[in-house]
Amino acid sequence: MYTRLLVGFFLCLSMSSIKAQTQSLSYFDSLKNQKHSLKPTGDFDQRFSFINNKEVNIWGYRIGALVNDRYKVGIGFYTLKANFDSNITRLRRITNISQVNQTLYYGTVYIEPYLIRRKRWEMSMIFELGYGNAIIDSVNIRNITGPRPSTSTKFTTRREPFIPVGMGLSFNLIIPDKKGFHFLTYFGLNGLIGIRRVILDGNFNENYNGLYWSIGTAIYIDRIFSDIKKKKDSKRIVE
């Protein structure tokens, strides 16, 4: 239910953004009068989520480019390690297990159009598609009774492809510019909330579907690049 509400919220934002653009100059007309630009971007992307009702951390990093100050495109790299007891795991075709250790390694391609850009805050939407591998180490511990009680332990490793898609809403707060402390405008706070869905029909798709969110500090590399370019342009004018 919460996932459907969040999807509806994102769709409303998308429609409102499209409507606002059509009320002004069209996108293609504005491109004719705009000088094309590319600025590098990059940020740490730690996400919090729930898998099998257990909170997990997904560690990642994104690199890309800001195109014409309108949207970002790039790639991301993520990893997750988590342990699950047999009473909560729902992995199909893996039975008689006592514990499951899961490791995810995957990359993504993404596009992030801005909905709103102001001097002190920004809002954007993220659309991403990924591919990677899920490595599952299952442990079967069985107690053997009888004249000589013992414990039997069996380890099994499986590797499955992992193809997630995601959509999220990102919000940035930028530190105000103070005289003598302009460098602080390169830093701020970032919040992100989104939904993740696995489109590959394998053992683990229903385990990884759900919401994710994050909040933390941000470094705006594109603003550093813009200031460096402005200084170079000003020197050329003086010369």
Q: Are 194 and 165 in contact (CB under 8 A)?
A: no
Is 2-22+36-238 CATH 3.30.70.270? no
**198-210: pLDDT as tens digits:** 887 565 555 788 8
Which of the pair, 107 or 86, is modelled with greater confidence? 107
CA 190 to chain centre: 12
Write down the residue that tokens 């729902």 correspond to.
90
Mean per-residue pLDDT for 84-102?
57
**Closest alpha carbon to 130 in 94, 175, 76, 178:** 76
18 has pLDDT over 60: no
What are the distances in angstroms from CA 188 to CA 8, 26, 129, 173, 174? 29, 31, 27, 5, 4
pTM: 0.76
Q: Which helix (H) or strand (E) holds 152?
A: strand 150-162
Long-range contacts of 157-160 (CB under 8 A, 24+ apart): 158/94, 158/203, 159/133, 159/134, 159/135, 160/133, 160/134, 160/136, 160/202, 160/203, 160/204
Question: What gap in Å lies between CA 17 and CA 15, rounded to an integer?
Answer: 5
Q: Mean pLDDT, to the nearest integer, of 55-80?
A: 94
Mean pLDDT of 175-193: 91
pLDDT at residue 60 tops 90: yes
Structural domain boundaries of the chain? 2-22+36-238
Answer yes or no: are the C-beta atoms of 129 and 165 closer than 8 Å: yes
User: What are 133-147's pLDDT values in tens digits?
Assistant: 888 877 766 655 555
Cα–Cα distance measured from residue 82 to residue 89, given in angstroms and rounded to the nearest whole number: 11
Higher pLDDT, 168 or 139: 168
Query: What is the overall mean pLDDT for the chain?
Result: 78
